[in-house]
Structure 1
Amino acid sequence: MSGNSAGSEGKSAYVLSRGIVTLFAIACGAAVANVYFSQPLLVTMGRDLGMSPALVGSVVTLTHVGYGLGLFFLVPLGDVADRRRLIVAQLLLLVAALAVVATARTAVMLLAGMAATGLLAVVTQTLVAFAASLARPAGRGRVVGRVTSGVVIGILLARTASGLMADLAGWRSVYLASASLTALLALVLYRVLPRHSGTAPTTLRYGQLLRSTLTLFAREPLLRIRALYGLLVFAAFSTLWSSIALPLSQAPYFLSHSAIGALGLIGVAGAMAATVAGRLNDRGLPGRTTGTALALLAASWLPLAFTRSSLWALAVGVILLDLAVQAVHVTNQTLIYDLHPEAGSRLIGGYMVFYSIGSATGAIAATTLYESAGWGAVCALGAAFSLLGLTLWAFTRHHTPTPEVTGSHLARRCESAR
Structure 2
Amino acid sequence: MDFQALKQEVILYSKEIGIDKIGFTTANTFDEMKNRLLRQQELNYQSGFEEPDIEKRVNPALVVPEARSIISIALAYPSKLKNPPQSKRGERRGIFCRASWGTDYHTVLRKKMALLEEFLKEKAPEVVIKSMVDTGELVDRAVAERAGIGWSGKNCSIITPEFGSYVYLGDIITSLPFEPDTPMEDRCGECNKCVDVCPTGALVQGGQLDSSKCIAFLTQTKGFLPDEYRTKLGNRLYGCDTCQTVCPENKGKDNHFHDEMEPDPELAKPLLRPLLTMSNRDFKDKFGHVSGSWRGKKPIQRNAIIALAHFKDEAALPELMDLIREDPRPVIRGTAAWAIGKIGGDEAYLALKQAKIEEQDQEVLQEIEKGLQMQDI
TM tier, smaller = under 0.3
Q: Which has the higher contact order (CA 8 A, sep 6+)?
A: 1
Q: Report the structure, 1 or 2, having the larger helix content.
A: 1
Structure 1 length-normalised TM: 0.22
Structure 2 length-normalised TM: 0.24
CA radius of gyration, larger in: 2
